[in-house]
């Protein structure tokens, strides 16, 4: 038994729980909670023990340090001593302290027991600090105290514990407590001693049970790198990044990994043979080109994340490791997520970029804001005195020593790091827009250069040269009216889809496949199918680079397309998500990598080889087969059975039959496995023969832009004819009313995707009056159109027209 409270000063994890934060800090209390409560639910946590707050205070008392600490901290409060001087003085006296003999013996005995449990004389352990005020809902304490890995032997363990005690008074920890209003002397330091997972022989990383950028609460994010996990936490490597869709995790028939990105992983932390216990070594080319985790391992970690989140009742931030000797996965830390889970969900903030200069560097976007400011490149926290408040801080990577200067920055740009790195975590907590993992920002950017940092365009963040036009929008979500007419979203960018998850939409009415191909894949599918005959050497080189790691180049297209669409489908699951098959024009297809060799030159691509005509043509049939493979994978393997397929620019019923037969040949047969197939209504023939098209398709989506163009004979891209292009022209309205009536009479669903309802309230009223089933609009127009539709319904528009929400 120890001093003070009469409680044990050394406690095994399995005797601790979440209520023991005051004794062992949040980190160790959480480890104990998981060991004692979640082991039976399959969550693996390495065993270990913790020293308590009483042990820390006994160490201070034995060395007579309380008075010195009080006096030094009083000088700090009185501004007669700097943070750096106070911290240095306190750390020196703690590191010079000696252990009480009885406390040292207790630690050594606990270590001997843990070694015996592992079946060795002296087991290697991780020694981590756990402050008694850390991991609270409003304070992450990310990296404020020290951790030591590959510690072996009682003498090395006692030394590591003493260094943990001293780390309670690092400059960064002192500054952080001051900022959060914690009394330094009321915070104690517990040390967690945990069996090392031999991740140096495999990999490790970080995991969140919520999307860290948008707060989307139905995904698990997993970052992974080779070797020990410190490199991921510190942002020293660019890790693999995986996203898993929670609602489908318990379906054994599907693998809902909706995003997989291979990181650079240029180095890994391993055990050292001599000197410091760990060191970084370069990874092999094979390691850089391989994923750290298999799909099944990703799913196991994601399921554990859901179990841990459900147990704690809040989104969680976790660290995991894989043992290279046994292949076992472990959770080695868990704490509450402290940013998105505390955000006000009553309003949706959105930044919109306008005119801007060329891209200088890009990386992962953290936060959703846009900032224009001058650059300051800082190599080390020692240079922070020359930092100018309100500048863009550019550096290689950050650790907790950078926090004081990060607080003074307008934005942060780093060479290295992933979404779960220190730079990302602290930037979110500070509300600081950041672009991390650019690779070369410190080489490209220079002091005093004015740049615009944009984190408002999805997963990818950009640093543009010079000032840019942008605006901030705030959308209230607390008074969105209910409507009988469904209002859906037009989405195209997988990287930005999660930003709109809070909108109470009824589904996605238009997901443009060509946008995903153009921005997420970049390669013409026929150039992948016929790579060996491709003559463009530059295109071959670019395709080799993009498809690295894929044994089959066409698999690159299928995999990227399926997962890109999955991120869009996840936002509205289980509501319907209508994916339109590719509708590039030939000039747009030709701009894809390798595309020029496969596309004819056309005088009028808008009316040329586009849409349905391509799908059965020898010129593109193999490309369409890859699109079908991606949709089949999206629905069957990833699990998004809510996806509806839509065929664009289908000129005739004969063409409809040929496309449907082509789809069926590639495993997408209408009606099988619940597959619905819609057709775009954008050609007058679709209206004239609406009954015949309704016999072949489950629904129509009116494309008002092309329908207006072809009804009025007006080139929608012609500036000279812009005044004649009017979606509200009586002829266009007749077309729309007629196809809505014909579709409803035939029992087919009918919606409209276009800008007109957003721009013209009277057009929304017209559609409601016609009895349309759904209207699909851009996310920034959703709330306005929803209000217009509700007003039209309240006014009795369409009364007696028989409109309403159809049976799904």
3-state per-residue secondary structure call for 155-214: HHHHHHHHHHHHHHHCHHHHHHHHHHCCCHHHCCEEEEEEECCCHHHCEEEEEECCCCCC
Query: 348 falls in which pLDDT band (50, 70, 90)?
Result: confident
Q: What is the distance between the alpha carbons of residues 232 and 234, in angstroms, rounded to a whole number?
A: 5
| Active-site residue, selected from the candidate residues 416, 422, 524, 681 | 422
Q: pLDDT tens digits, residue range 79-101?
A: 888 888 999 999 999 999 999 99
Cα–Cα separations (whole angstroms), residue 567 to 227, 362, 452, 557, 646: 29, 21, 28, 16, 18
Query: 195 falls in which pLDDT band (50, 70, 90)?
Result: very high
In the three-class reduction of DSSP (H, G, I as helix; E, B as strand; rest coil), residue 582 is classed as: coil
Q: Do the bridges between strand 699-703 and strand 677-681 make them parallel or antiparallel, or are there none, so unpaired?
A: parallel
Q: What is the distance between the alpha carbons of residues 114 and 210, in angstroms, rounded to a whole number?
A: 34
What are the beta bridge partners of residue 377? Answer: 394
DSSP one-letter code for 227? B
Alpha helix stretches (DSSP H) within 215-369:
230-234, 285-289, 295-312
What pLDDT does residue 141 have?
A: 47
Answer whether 775's CB lies under 8 Å from 789's CB. yes
Q: Do the bridges between strand 147-152 and strand 124-131 make them parallel or antiparallel, or are there none, so unpaired?
A: antiparallel
Q: How many CB atoms lie within 10 A of CB 527?
A: 25
Answer whether 539's CB lies under 8 Å from 594's CB. yes
- The first and second tokens of residue 663, run together, are 């789809």
What pLDDT does residue 77 have?
A: 82
pLDDT > 90: what percent of the chain? 74
What Rg, from alpha-carbon coordinates, does the chain have? 30
**pLDDT above 70 for 138:** no
What pLDDT does residue 264 have?
A: 93
Q: Do the bridges between strand 508-512 and strand 486-491 make them parallel or antiparallel, or are there none, so unpaired?
A: parallel
Q: How many CB atoms lie within 10 A of CB 671?
A: 10
Q: Is 524 a catalytic residue?
A: no
Q: What is the distance between the alpha carbons of residues 132 and 716, in angstroms, rounded to a whole number?
A: 65
Q: What is the distance between the alpha carbons of residues 264 and 397, in angstroms, rounded to a whole number?
A: 15
Average pLDDT over every residue of 25-51: 95
Q: pLDDT tens digits, residue range 487-512?
A: 999 998 898 899 899 999 999 999 99
Query: 183 falls in which pLDDT band (50, 70, 90)?
Result: confident
Alpha helix stretches (DSSP H) within 330-463:
403-406, 422-430, 441-444
Burial of 68 (0-12, 13-18, 19+ CB in 10 A): middle
Enumerate residues 6+ apart whose C-beta is below 8 A from 581.
Answer: 513, 615, 624, 627, 631, 645, 646, 647, 648
Is 179 or 2 the better-scoring residue by pLDDT?
179
What are the beta bridge partners of residue 806? Answer: none
Burial of 446 (0-12, 13-18, 19+ CB in 10 A): exposed
pTM, two decimal places:
0.87
Q: Is 753 a catalytic residue?
A: yes
Q: pLDDT tens digits, residue range 447-461?
A: 999 999 999 988 899
Q: What is the distance between the alpha carbons of residues 242 and 256, in angstroms, rounded to a whole number?
A: 11
Cα dihedral sign, 608-611-616-620: positive
| Active-site residue, selected from the candidate residues 161, 164, 455, 753 | 753
Q: How many CB atoms lie within 10 A of CB 137?
A: 12
Instruction: Look at residues 182, 226, 181 and name the one whose alpha carbon lies nearest to residue 205.
Output: 226
The C-alpha angle with vertex 563 and arms to 488 and 438, in degrees rounded to 5, equals: 105
Cα dihedral: 663, 665, 670, 675 (round 10): -80
Instruction: Look at residues 692, 704, 707 and name the one whose alpha carbon lies nearest to residue 743.
Output: 692
Q: How many CB atoms lie within 10 A of CB 548?
A: 12
Assess whether the previous peptide bond of 574 is cis (omega < 30° from 0). Answer: yes
Answer whether 193's CB lies under 8 Å from 220's CB. no
Q: pLDDT tens digits, residue range 625-638?
A: 999 999 999 999 99
Q: Do the bridges between strand 677-681 and strand 643-647 make them parallel or antiparallel, or are there none, so unpaired?
A: parallel
Place of tokens 């036009």: 469
Is 382 or 61 the better-scoring residue by pLDDT?
61
Average pLDDT over every residue of 93-110: 97
Upper half-sphere CA count for residue 637 (Cβ side, 13 Å): 15
Query: 76 falls in which pLDDT band (50, 70, 90)?
Result: confident
Q: What is the distance between the alpha carbons of residues 473 and 352, in angstroms, rounded to a whole number?
A: 8
What pLDDT does residue 6 have?
A: 64
Burial of 612 (0-12, 13-18, 19+ CB in 10 A): buried
């Amino acid at each position: 038994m120890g001093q003070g409270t009469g409680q044990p000063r050394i406690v095994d994890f399995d005797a601790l729980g979440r209520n023991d934060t005051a004794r062992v800090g949040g980190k160790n209390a959480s480890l104990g909670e998981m060991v004692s409560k979640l082991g039976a639910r399959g969550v693996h946590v390495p065993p270990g023990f913790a020293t308590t707050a009483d042990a820390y205070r006994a160490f201070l008392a034995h060395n007579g340090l309380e008075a010195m600490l009080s006096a030094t901290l009083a000088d700090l409060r009185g501004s007669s001593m700097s943070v750096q001087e106070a911290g240095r003085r306190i750390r020196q006296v703690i590191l010079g302290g000696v252990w009480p003999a009885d406390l040292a013996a207790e630690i050594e005995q606990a270590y001997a027991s843990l070694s015996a449990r592992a079946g060795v004389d002296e087991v290697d352990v991780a020694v981590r600090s756990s402050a008694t005020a850390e991991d609270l809902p409003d304070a992450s304490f990310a990296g404020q105290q020290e951790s030591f890995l590959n510690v072996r032997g009682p003498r090395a363990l006692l030394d590591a514990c003493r260094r943990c005690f001293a780390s309670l008074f690092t400059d960064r920890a002192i500054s952080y407590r001051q900022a959060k209003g914690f009394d330094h002397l009321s915070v104690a330091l517990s040390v967690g001693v945990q069996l090392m997972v031999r991740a140096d022989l495999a990999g490790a990383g970080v995991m969140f049970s919520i999307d860290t950028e948008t707060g989307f609460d139905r995904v698990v994010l997993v970052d992974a790198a080779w070797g020990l996990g410190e490199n991921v936490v510190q942002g020293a490597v660019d890790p693999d990044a995986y996203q898993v869709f929670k609602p489908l995790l318990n379906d054994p028939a599907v693998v809902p990994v909706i995003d997989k990105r291979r990181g650079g992983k240029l180095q890994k932390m391993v055990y050292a043979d001599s000197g410091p216990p760990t060191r970084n070594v370069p990874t092999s080319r094979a390691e850089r080109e391989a994923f750290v985790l298999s799909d099944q391992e990703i799913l196991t970690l994601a399921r554990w994340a859901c179990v841990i989140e459900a147990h704690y009742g809040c989104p969680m931030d976790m660290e995991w490791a894989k043992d290279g000797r046994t292949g076992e996965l472990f959770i080695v830390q868990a704490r509450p997520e402290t940013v998105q889970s505390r955000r006000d969900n009553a309003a949706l903030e959105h930044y919109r970029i306008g005119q801007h200069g060329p891209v200088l560097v890009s990386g992962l976007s953290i936060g959703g804001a846009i900032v224009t400011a001058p650059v300051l490149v800082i190599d080390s926290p020692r240079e922070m005195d020359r930092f100018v408040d309100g500048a863009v801080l550019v550096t290689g990577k950050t650790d907790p020593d950078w926090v004081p200067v990060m607080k003074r920055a307008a934005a942060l740009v780093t060479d290295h790091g992933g979404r779960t790195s220190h730079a990302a975590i602290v930037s979110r907590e500070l509300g600081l827009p950041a672009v991390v993992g650019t690779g070369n920002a410190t080489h490209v950017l220079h002091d005093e250069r004015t740049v615009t940092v944009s984190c408002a365009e999805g997963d990818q963040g950009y640093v543009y040269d010079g000032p840019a036009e942008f605006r901030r929008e705030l959308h209230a979500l607390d008074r969105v009216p209910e409507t009988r007419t469904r209002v859906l979203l037009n989405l195209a960018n997988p990287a930005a889809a999660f930003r709109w998850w809070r909108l109470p939409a009824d589904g996605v009415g238009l997901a443009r496949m060509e946008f995903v191909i153009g921005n997420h894949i970049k390669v013409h599918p026929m150039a992948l199918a016929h790579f060996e005959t491709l003559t463009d050497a530059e295109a071959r080189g670019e395709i080799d680079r993009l498809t690295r790691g894929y044994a089959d180049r066409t698999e690159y297209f299928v995999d990227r397309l399926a997962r890109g669409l999955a991120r869009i489908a996840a936002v509205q699951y289980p509501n319907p998500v209508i994916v339109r098959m590719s509708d590039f024009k030939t000039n747009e297809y030709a701009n894809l990598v390798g595309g020029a060799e496969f596309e004819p030159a056309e005088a009028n691509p808008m009316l040329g080889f586009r849409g349905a005509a391509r799908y059965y043509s020898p010129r593109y049939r193999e490309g369409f087969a890859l699109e079908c493979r991606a949709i089949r994978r999206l629905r069957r393997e990833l699990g998004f059975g809510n996806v509806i397929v839509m065929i664009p620019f289908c000129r005739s019923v004969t063409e409809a039959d040929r496309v449907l037969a082509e789809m069926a040949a590639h495993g997408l047969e209408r009606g099988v496995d619940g597959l619905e197939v819609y057709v775009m209504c954008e050609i007058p023939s679709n209206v004239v023969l609406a009954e015949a098209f309704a016999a072949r398709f489950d629904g129509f989506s009116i494309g008002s832009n092309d329908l207006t163009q072809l009804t009025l004979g007006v080139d929608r891209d012609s500036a000279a004819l812009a005044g004649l292009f009017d979606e509200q022209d009586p002829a266009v309205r007749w077309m729309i009313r007629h196809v809505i009536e014909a579709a409803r009479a035939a029992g087919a669903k009918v919606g409209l995707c276009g800008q007109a309802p957003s721009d013209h309230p009277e057009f929304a009223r017209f559609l409601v009056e016609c009895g349309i089933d759904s209207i699909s609009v851009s996310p920034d127009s959703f709330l306005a159109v929803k209000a217009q539709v509700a007003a039209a319904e309240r006014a009795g528009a369409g009364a007696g027209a028989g409109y309403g929400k159809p049976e799904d």
